[in-house]
């Protein structure tokens, strides 16, 4: 994970508030194209310069080849308004706890998963267990990946509620661990489409905390009712995997 600096010098008398708004729009387009992570970048204006410090999975995530139609259009608009050129600089590496992204030539499968503190990609490689930058996928929708990021935001919101405990904890948990919840349905739809676009089976991670008392590997899959316990724990996280329903899960740590 890297921290990048994107900046532009203002060489016109255009209203700075308008320019800041246009810059923010560019940052949201970078997120939609899968090039920046987490929607948590700092942004500031210093004298005649607008600066933003987004997180990216790779050093070259902001390379022009990954730009989509909206990013390119907005860069052009901003450069015309400011009468200067957008500048890029890699500031440094973020926390070492973030692994480098997947470099597999072809992943055996993908897993859609995130959590309340993650700024990784919501797509993980099932082969190496590393993050898959969304810009490596074929275009998902409207030049980018917004429906995947919308699920990610919803999931993180539910996970935050259940971590904070006081408001909507039970409701949020059900969203995360019920196969038929709106959150799971949204996730399954994404898995199915990524599977179709890439020809790589894409699994949904089903959260499991308190739902199954006395949880054990012989418990059957909540989708097809068949055996899905793994003989060997996968990536030190997954205890269950159903290849029919395309779900992975873990043994409840409450039992």
Whether residue 253 contacts residue 207, with contact meaning beta carbons closer than 8 Å, is answered with no
CA–chain centroid gap for 22, Å, is: 24
* Window 122-161: contact mask with Zn ion (x via CB under 5 A): ---x-xx---------------------------------
| Nearest residue (CB) to Zn ion, 100 versus 153 | 100
The distance of closest approach from Cβ of residue 200 to Zn ion in the complex, given in angstroms and rounded to an integer, is 10
For position 26 contacting Zn ion by CB under 5 A, the verdict is no
Question: What is the rounded distance in angstroms from the CA atom of residue 33 to the CA atom of residue 187?
Answer: 19
* Piece of the chain touching Zn ion by CB under 5 A; list 54-62, 79-87, 96-104, 173-181: 96-104
| Nearest residue (CB) to Zn ion, 93 versus 244 | 244
For position 245 contacting Zn ion by CB under 5 A, the verdict is yes
The distance of closest approach from Cβ of residue 145 to Zn ion in the complex, given in angstroms and rounded to an integer, is 18
Residues in the interface with Zn ion (CB under 5 A) total 12
* Window 208-237: contact mask with Zn ion (x via CB under 5 A): -------------x-xx-------------
For position 62 contacting Zn ion by CB under 5 A, the verdict is no
* Piece of the chain touching Zn ion by CB under 5 A; list 25-33, 39-47, 101-109, 195-203: 101-109
For position 248 contacting Zn ion by CB under 5 A, the verdict is no
For position 102 contacting Zn ion by CB under 5 A, the verdict is yes
The distance of closest approach from Cβ of residue 105 to Zn ion in the complex, given in angstroms and rounded to an integer, is 9
Footprint of Zn ion (CB under 5 A)? 102, 104, 107, 125, 127-128, 221, 223-224, 242, 244-245
């Amino acid at each position: 994970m890297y921290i990048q600096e994107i900046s532009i010098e203002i060489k016109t008398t255009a209203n700075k508030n308008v320019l800041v708004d246009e810059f923010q729009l560019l940052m949201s387009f970078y997120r939609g194209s899968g090039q920046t992570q987490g929607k948590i970048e700092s942004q500031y204006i210093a004298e005649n310069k607008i600066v933003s410090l987004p997180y990216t999975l790779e050093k070259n995530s902001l390379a022009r080849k990954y730009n989509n139609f909206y990013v390119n259009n907005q860069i052009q608009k901003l450069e015309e308004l400011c009468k200067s050129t957008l500048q890029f600089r890699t500031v440094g590496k973020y926390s070492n706890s973030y692994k480098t992204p997947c470099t597999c030539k072809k992943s055996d499968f993908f897993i859609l998963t995130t959590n309340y503190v993650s700024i990784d990609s919501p797509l993980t490689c099932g082969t190496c267990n590393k993050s898959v930058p969304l810009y490596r996928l074929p275009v998902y929708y409207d030049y980018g990946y917004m429906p995947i990021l919308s699920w990610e935001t919803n999931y993180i919101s539910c996970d935050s509620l259940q971590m904070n405990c006081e408001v909507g904890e039970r409701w949020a948990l059900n969203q995360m661990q019920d196969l038929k919840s709106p959150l799971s349905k949204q996730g399954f739809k994404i898995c199915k489409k990524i599977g179709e676009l890439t020809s790589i089976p894409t699994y949904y991670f089903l959260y499991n905390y308190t739902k199954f008392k006395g949880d054990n590997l012989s418990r059957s899959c909540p989708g097809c009712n068949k055996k899905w316990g793994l003989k060997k724990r996968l990536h030190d996280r997954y205890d269950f995997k159903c290849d029919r329903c395309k779900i992975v899960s873990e043994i409840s740590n409450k039992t």
